[in-house]
Amino acid sequence: MSILVYIEQRGGAVRSVSRETLGEATRLAAVLGGPVVGVCCAAADPGLAALGEAGAEQVLLAAHPAFAQYDSAGHAAAVTAAAKQVGAKVVLFSASSIGKDLAPRVAARLSVGLATDCTALAVESGRLVATRPVFAGKAFQKVAFPASPAVASLRPKVFAPVSAAGAVAAVSALPFEWDASAPRAVVTGLAGASGGKADLTESEIVVSGGRGLKGPEHFHLVEALADALGATVGASRAVVDAGWRPHGEQVGQTGKVVSPKLYVAVGISGAIQHLAGMSSSRCIVAINKDPEAPIFKVADYGLVGDLFEVLPALTAEVRKLHG
Amino acid sequence: MLQLVCIKQVANTETRIKVAADGTTLDPSGVTWVLNVYDEFAVEEALRLKEALGAGEVVLASVGGAGVTTTLRNALAMGADRAVHLKTDDPAPDGLQVARALSALVTELQPGLVWMGKQAVDDDASAVGPMVAEMCGMPCVTVVCKAAIEGGVARLEREIEGGRELVEVPLPAVLTADKGLNEPRHASLKGIMAAKKKPIDERPAALGAPGLERLALELPPPRAAGRIVGEGVAAVPALVQALRDEAKVL
């Protein structure tokens, strides 16, 4: 009876979200018992032994040349095989792009339910209970798992990794069936790479701009502050719908839901659907000229003022701090 | 080609959430029900493909209670040909159950494409599309923001962390739609009139046993009250100091 963790890699590097998932698996194992076992699909071993330090006792490597890219059908077959091989009672994914795509396939193959994008896992009266935001965080749902294994995906940036310095995970090959005849989606390339900047959902700091910027030509003010903070740029629905910014930057109920340690809302009034997407951030700063704007009700720190004056001053002050 | 578009009726995103007496679901009183926004992109893309091909049929499917008829009619008014309403009294069946009910319909209708939104903006589960695909032995591409479909192959783009993935998939396939895929049309008056006469086939949804046990629906604790650090440029140093020394986020 193990806790199985899907280890995500892109381009031959393990993604940091997997260390978060391993961290939670380690905490669950202390209550539920059983080893923490990773399963990774890759063309070659991306240095899995090092995941011992993140809490994995063992990692199963499903190796196939096609796994140089994400191969949904192959990954689903491999992870399902791993769950059966280790007798998993819990299977955890990160609720990343891959995890959101893969976890439902694995749950369907195992004929069990799935709790996606969880923000807390707990053991209550001996059974696993998952807490997950619904209505984009306007409410939280608690669910239990009637069948085994319990399959869940965890929201990025919510669960802390652990550090077991010097520990080494035992890496072994996972036998799994590669069905060459199955019709499959094949990744043929990548486009629009963001130049190494963290994705909104995985950023420590997010700076979002809204209609208060008055036009796309002023977004460089938001970008400059984001640069100074090492942050990722987000946007409100209003400016995305107006075509000022790409929809991939939208924060809110019909965009991305983020929980960074610092969220800076600039010229955003705070419509309920925007608040739903960012109110789980650890610290919220609002800059708006309207002291009555709803955004100030969720902000830890508010600054009332003209963003065209405040932003350059704030950017300069942050630069000074970082020297 | 028959295209099946799976849609869900959800509470409008401006809804203030209240918990129903059962303690586990949304209180439906006073809620404005709408077509899930991501499903709108799915309906639109299917209609555009049908128009481009000059042939075929767009069939809608939805799992839900009696009120779902309104949303089905609204989507029929966009131009879909007919609908199947898989009826249930359960206000919130889980993803596994909905996927079971839909996959039975997929097996029956044998569509060339199954469309749906990347997630429903109520339970935010993003589970049904890939589950239907697995249950029906079909390939699936999720979170599609660009689609070109020709000669039995779909060439797609999907957003991932830090870029877009280009994907090719043979039909039949399940595709889930993201914002940006298209600009959904508004129903015309003619469309609304025509929709009233389009057939909605009602039958019970074969949900099977729940995949999740609903224990509670709770409202988040209110955030502790924040403070206004000041006005204008003069307040900038105080803000930075608070972020560094109090909040310790810089």
| pLDDT tens digits, one per residue of B10-26 | 999 888 999 999 999 99
Judge: A301–B96 Cβ closer than 8 Å, yes or no: no
Stretch B139-143: mean pLDDT, rounded?
A: 98
Whole-angstrom Cα distance, residue A105 to residue A90?
15
Domain B2-204 belongs to what architecture?
Answer: 3-Layer(aba) Sandwich (3.40)
Q: Check A116 against B126: CB less than 8 A apart.
A: yes
Contact map slice: B 188-247 vs A, CB within 8 A: 209-220, 223-224, 226-233, 235-237, 239-240, 242-244, 247
Average pLDDT, integer, range B155-170 = 93
Nearest Cα residue in chain A from B175: A185
Question: Tell me, what's the pLDDT at A193?
Answer: 66
* CA atoms in the 13 A half-sphere facing the CB of A8: 26
So what's the pLDDT on residue B14? 86
Percent of chain A with pLDDT over 70: 98
For chain B, domain boundaries: 2-204
| pLDDT of the residue at A195 | 55
Chain A interface mutation, best of B24, B41, B124, highest count of A Cβ atoms under 10 Å? B124
Using CA coordinates, name the residue in chain A closest to B133: A105
Predicted pLDDT of residue A191: 87
- Bridge partner residues of A254 (DSSP): none
Structural domain boundaries of chain A?
2-173, 200-322
CA-CA distance, A67 to A176, in Å (whole number)? Answer: 13
A241 vs B: CB within 8 A: no
pLDDT in tens, A210-250: 999 999 999 999 999 999 999 999 999 999 999 999 888 99
Please indicate if any CB of chain B lies within 8 Å of the CB of A3: no
- Residue B69 pLDDT greater than 90, yes or no: yes
Just give the CATH number of A2-173.
3.40.50.620
Instruction: Please state the ipTM of this predicted complex.
Output: 0.95
Residues of chain A under the 70 pLDDT cut = 193-197
Q: Are the Cβ atoms of A197 and B160 closer than 8 angstroms?
A: no
What integer pLDDT is reported at residue A197 of this predicted model? 67
The answer to whether A246 faces chain B, any CB pair under 8 Å, is yes
Mutate to test the interface with A, among B97, B161, B223, B231 (most CBs of A within 10 A): B161
DSSP chain B: -EEEEE--EEE-TTPPP-B-TTSSSB--TTPPEEE-HHHHHHHHHHHHHHHHHT--EEEEEEEE-TTHHHHHHHHHHHT--EEEEEE-S-SS--HHHHHHHHHHHHHHH--SEEEEESS-TTT----HHHHHHHHHT--EEEEEEEEEEETTEEEEEEEETTEEEEEEEESSEEEEE-TTS--PPPPPHHHHHHHTTS-EEEEE----S-SSEEEEEEPPPPPPP-EEEEESGGGHHHHHHIIIIIS---
The CATH label, of 3.40.50.2000, 3.30.390.50, 3.40.50.1220, 3.30.70.1450, for the domain at A200-322 is 3.40.50.1220
Q: Do domains A2-173 and A200-322 have the same CATH topology?
A: yes
Rounded mean pLDDT, B217-232? 91
pLDDT confidence of B173, banded at 50, 70, 90?
A: very high
Closest CA to A233 of A241, A221, A242, A243: A221
What is the pLDDT, as a whole number, of residue A264?
98
Q: What does the pLDDT look like over A262-316, one tens digit per residue?
A: 999 999 999 988 998 998 899 999 999 999 999 999 999 999 999 999 999 999 9
Instruction: Give the pLDDT score at A275.
Output: 92
Q: Retrieve residue A198's tokens.
A: 């963290």
Cβ neighbours of residue B189 closer than 8 Å, sequence gap 6 or more: none
**The token pair that represents A30 in the structure block:** 């202390």
Between CA B248 and CA B230 the distance in angstroms is: 19
Set of chain B residues whose Cβ sits within 8 Å of the Cβ of A246: 180
Which residue of A94, A141, A282 to mutate against B (max B Cβ within 10 Å)?
A141
**Cα–Cα distance for residue pair A23/A18, rounded to 1 Å:** 8
Whether B240 sits inside 8 A of A317 (CB atoms) is: yes
